[in-house]
């Protein structure tokens, strides 16, 4: 049985944390996403796994990594999901260099607070 190389791509990617990000950059990315037509809110993912930590707080819905920026958002019901994601991708790309991956996590009707939880 052989151990994986210390320099293997997967192991190396897991051992290197993303570069530290200042709160101003994260705020700029969040503002860019929230100005997009059809985008209602940032979404932390099913278990809150999508977030960026900055001094003193955590910004859900944004993960700034070494190789890409991930955006998870809630879209407005009636807004086409594909074009909304594309607008978010372009808005974020104007703020931070590199690839931008957008996931629409939820779609909510008008007048519903996306952070209120499932009225169920």
Q: What is the pLDDT of residue 54?
A: 87
**Residue 54 in contact with residue 101, Cβ under 8 Å?**
no
In the chain, the domains with their CATH numbers are 18-108 (3.30.70.1350)
Q: Which residue has the tokens 């930590």?
A: 53
Query: Two tokens at 55?
Result: 């001094």
**Residue 84 in contact with residue 39, Cβ under 8 Å?**
yes
Q: Measuring CA to CA, which residue among 96, 116, 97, 94 is closest to residue 106?
A: 116
26 burial via Cβ count (<10 Å: 0-12, 13-18, 19+): buried
Stated pTM of the model: 0.75
Mean pLDDT by 10 residues, the chain (120 residues): 46 45 85 94 92 91 94 95 96 95 92 65
Total residues found in the chain within this entry: 120
Element of type H or E holding 112: none
User: Residue 21 CB: number of other CB atoms within 10 A?
Assistant: 20
């Amino acid at each position: 049985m052989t151990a994986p190389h210390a320099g293997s791509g997967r192991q190396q990617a897991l051992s290197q944390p993303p570069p530290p990000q200042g709160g101003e950059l994260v705020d700029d990315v969040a503002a860019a996403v929230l100005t997009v037509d059809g985008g209602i809110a940032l979404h932390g993912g099913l278990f809150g796994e999508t977030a960026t930590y900055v001094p003193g707080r955590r910004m859900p819905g944004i993960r700034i990594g070494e190789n890409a920026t991930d955006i998870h958002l809630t879209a407005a019901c009636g807004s086409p999901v594909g074009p909304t994601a594309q607008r978010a991708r372009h808005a974020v790309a104007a703020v931070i260099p590199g690839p931008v991956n957008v996931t629409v996590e939820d779609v909510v009707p008008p007048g519903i607070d996306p952070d209120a939880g499932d009225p169920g």
